[in-house]
C-alpha cells in the first residue's frame, strides 16, 4: 500500500510540474512582442524629413538605404514579424537622420560657398573702382 502511495505522489508531482511548464510556455507565447507602431511612425517621419531636407539631391545613398529599410519594416509588419520590423524601422530612422544631416550640411556649405564667391566678386569690384 505504501508503495502505491509513493507512486501516486510521484505521479501527482510530475503532473504538476508538467502543467506548470505547459502554462509557462503558453504564457511566454502570449507575451509576444507588440507591434512597433510608434517606432514605425517615427521612422516614417524621419524618412519624410530627410526627403524634404534635400536628401534625394545631397544624400541619395543614405536616403535610399532608409527607404529600403522602411519598406522592409513595412513587409515585416504585415507578416507580424514585429522584432524584425522594429529593428529595420530603427535602422531606417538612423539612416534617414544621417541623410537629413548630410543634406542640411551640404546646403549650408553651398550657401557659404556662394557668400564667399559674392564677397570675392565684391572685393574685386571695390578694388577696380579704387584704382
The DSSP result for 16-58, as a single string, is HHHHHHHHHHHHHHHTPPPP-HHHHHHHHHHHHHHHHTTHHHH
Same-domain status, 118 and 83: yes
How do residues 55-97 score in pLDDT, each as one tens digit? 999 999 999 999 999 999 999 999 999 999 999 999 999 999 9
Task: Give residue 3's domain range.
Answer: 1-31
* Cell numbers describing residue 84: 524584425
106-121 pLDDT per residue, tens: 999 998 999 999 999 8
Cα 70–Cα 74–Cα 77 angle in degrees, nearest 5: 135
- Would the pTM of this model clear 0.75, i.e. be above it? no
Q: What is the CATH number of the domain that holds 122?
A: 1.20.1270.390
Same-domain status, 25 and 40: no
Q: In the structure grid, which three cell numbers stand for residue 44, read together?
A: 516614417
Amino acid at each position: 500500500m505504501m508503495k502505491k502511495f509513493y507512486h501516486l505522489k510521484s505521479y501527482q508531482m510530475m503532473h504538476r510540474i508538467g502543467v506548470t511548464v505547459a502554462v509557462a510556455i503558453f504564457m511566454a507565447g502570449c507575451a509576444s512582442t507588440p507591434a512597433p507602431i510608434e517606432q514605425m511612425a517615427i521612422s516614417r517621419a524621419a524618412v519624410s524629413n530627410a526627403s524634404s531636407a534635400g536628401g534625394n539631391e545631397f544624400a541619395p545613398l543614405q536616403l535610399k538605404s532608409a527607404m529600403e529599410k522602411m519598406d522592409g519594416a513595412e513587409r515585416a509588419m504585415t507578416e507580424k514579424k514585429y522584432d524584425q520590423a522594429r529593428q529595420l524601422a530603427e535602422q531606417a530612422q538612423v539612416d534617414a537622420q544621417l541623410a537629413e544631416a548630410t543634406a542640411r550640411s551640404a546646403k549650408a556649405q553651398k550657401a557659404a560657398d556662394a557668400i564667399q564667391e559674392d564677397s570675392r566678386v565684391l572685393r574685386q569690384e571695390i578694388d577696380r573702382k579704387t584704382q
